[in-house]
Amino acid sequence: MIRVTGSGIHDGVHRHPLGAIRAYDRWLRDEFVAMNTVLEEHYFTRRADILPGHEDVRASLLRDGASLIAAITTLPDDPAERYALLGAVGYHAAACARHETGEPADLAPEWSLLRRLGTSLGVAPRYTFAHQALYNPAAGDAFWTFTSIPDERVFITRNGQAVLAYQRAAAALRRVPAMGVSNPVATYLLEDAVAALGDVLRFNRALAAELDPDRFYYCLRPYFKTHRVGRVEYRGTNAGDFAAINELDLLLGLCDPADPFYQEILAEKEPFLPPGDAATIQSAVRTEPLLSRFLREAADGVTPVLAENARLYLAACRAHGAAYAFHHGRLVTPFLVAKAPTAETDGVTASGPPLEAVVGMLARLSDLRAGRKKDGTAWEGLERLRELVG
C-alpha cells in the first residue's frame, strides 16, 4: 500500500488527513483491477481494441475512482511517496482513457491533482513505466496492476528486472572514469557491467518467452497510450523511460551527445523520467566517453591491465548491442509490428508518431548501440581499439 508515513498515521483511516490515500489504494488493488479485467475479457473475446457493453462497469470505474481521488486533498511530504501517488492516480486516468469513459468535467479534479503532483516533482502529470516497475509498493505479493491477467504481471516483472540490470551496469561504469581505464580496481566494475548487461538480455528473453503477444497487444498496450490531462495530451508510457540506458550509451561512447538525432531522444524522454534520473544523464554528457579514454591511453602503449580492461569494455559494448538488438527483433517486431493492422497506424505506440517512424527511430538506436558499420556510429573507434588490444 502507499506508505503515508510523512505526517504519522492514526488508526481512524478517514479521520487522518492522509486516510483518503489509503482508501483509494485499497480500491485500486481490488475493485479497480476486477472492473478492468471484466472489460478486457469482454474486448478480448473479439480481439478488439474496445467494444460496447458492460456500461455499468465502465460507469462505476469512472465514478468510484473519481470520488475516492476527489477526497485526496492532503499530499505526503516525502517526494518518493508523492511520486508513487502520482502513479496511483495516473492509473485511474489511464484506465478511463483506455475505456473511453469520462467527460472532462468528471475528470477535472483528478487532472488537477495529477498536475499538482507533477509540478511539485518536475515530471509529466501521468503515470509512466517507472511507476509500474519501480515505485509500485507490493502488499501480499501483489503490486498495482490494471488487470489480473497474468501477462500484465509478467510484463511488469520482466521489464522491471531489465531496467534494474541496466541501472546496475550504469552504476558500475559511472565509477570507472574516476579510477582511470588502466586501473586494476576498475576491472571489477567492467566485469560487473558485462554481467549486468548479460542479465538484461536474460530478462528480455524470459519476457519474450512468457508473454502472450495477443494479450500484450489487446489487453496491456492500450493502457500505455497517449492521453489528456487537462487540455494537454501527454504521450504514452514505455519501458524506456529511465536514464540508465542513455547513461550507458554515453559512457561507452556509442552515442554522441552532439548528434541531433540522439539529442532529440534525450529531450523527448526527460519529462517522463523519474525524479533524479535526468541528473545522471547530465553528468554522463559532461564525461569523456570510455572509448576515447581507452584509445588515448592505448596510443601510448598497451599495458596488460589496459588490455584486459579494454577487452571487458568491448564485451560490455557487445552485450549492450545484443540486448538492444533483441528488443528490436524479438520484442518490438513480434509484439507490436506484427500485430498492428498497418505500418502507418497512429496511436499504437507510446510516443504517438506512426509506427513506421517509431520503428525507424528504434532501428537507428539499435545500429548505434551495436556499433554497426554505418554512418555516424562508433564502429571506427571500436575497430581501432579491437586492433590495438587484439
| Chain centre distance of CA 166 | 11
Binding status of residue 252 toward ligand HEM by CB under 6 A: no
CB 160 → ligand HEM: shortest distance, Å?
Answer: 8
Binding status of residue 351 toward ligand HEM by CB under 6 A: yes
CB 161 → ligand HEM: shortest distance, Å?
Answer: 8
Nearer to ligand HEM (CB atom), residue 170 or residue 362:
362
Q: Are 198 and 190 in contact (CB under 8 A)?
A: no
Exactly one of 124, 239, 243, 385 binds ligand HEM (CB under 6 A); that residue is 239
Task: Give residue 283's identity as a one-letter amino acid code.
Answer: S
Nearer to ligand HEM (CB atom), residue 4 or residue 278:
278
Binding status of residue 163 toward ligand HEM by CB under 6 A: yes
Q: Are 244 and 167 in contact (CB under 8 A)?
A: yes
Binding status of residue 349 toward ligand HEM by CB under 6 A: yes
Q: Mark out the alpha helices in the chain (DSSP H runs).
A: 19-29, 31-45, 55-70, 79-98, 104-121, 129-133, 150-173, 176-179, 184-210, 213-215, 244-252, 260-269, 277-286, 290-299, 304-326, 355-370, 379-389
CB 1 → ligand HEM: shortest distance, Å?
Answer: 26
Q: Are 69 and 184 in contact (CB under 8 A)?
A: no
Binding status of residue 240 toward ligand HEM by CB under 6 A: yes
Binding status of residue 156 toward ligand HEM by CB under 6 A: no
Binding status of residue 90 toward ligand HEM by CB under 6 A: no
DSSP string, 73-105: -SPPSSHHHHHHHHHHHHHHHHHHHHTT---HH
Determine the interface stretch with ligand HEM among 79-87, 100-108, 159-167, 186-194 (rule: CB under 6 A). 159-167
Determine the interface stretch with ligand HEM among 34-42, 60-68, 120-128, 203-211 (rule: CB under 6 A). 203-211
Q: How far apart are CA 371 and CA 313, in angstroms?
A: 13
Nearer to ligand HEM (CB atom), residue 293 or residue 320:
320
Q: Mark out the alpha helices in 327-389 (DSSP H runs).
A: 355-370, 379-389
Binding status of residue 332 toward ligand HEM by CB under 6 A: yes
Binding status of residue 377 toward ligand HEM by CB under 6 A: no
Q: How far apart are CA 362 and CA 367, in angstroms?
A: 9
Give the CA distances from residue 176 to residues 169, 185, 251, 317, in Å, rounded to whole numbers and listed in that order: 11, 9, 9, 15
Binding status of residue 216 toward ligand HEM by CB under 6 A: yes
Binding status of residue 365 toward ligand HEM by CB under 6 A: yes
Binding status of residue 28 toward ligand HEM by CB under 6 A: no
Nearer to ligand HEM (CB atom), residue 193 or residue 332:
332
Exactly one of 39, 335, 377, 385 binds ligand HEM (CB under 6 A); that residue is 335
Q: How far apart are CA 152 and CA 129, in angstroms?
A: 13
Binding status of residue 287 toward ligand HEM by CB under 6 A: no
Comparing every residue's Cβ against ligand HEM, the nearest one is 240
Nearer to ligand HEM (CB atom), residue 139 or residue 363:
363
Phi-psi sector, 113: left (phi>0), alpha (psi -120 to 50), beta: alpha
Neighbours of 367 (CB within 10 A): 20
Exactly one of 20, 89, 169, 207 binds ligand HEM (CB under 6 A); that residue is 207
Name the residues that contact ligand HEM, by CB under 6 A: 159, 162-163, 166, 204, 207, 211, 216, 238-240, 245, 265, 327, 331-332, 335-336, 349-351, 358, 362, 365
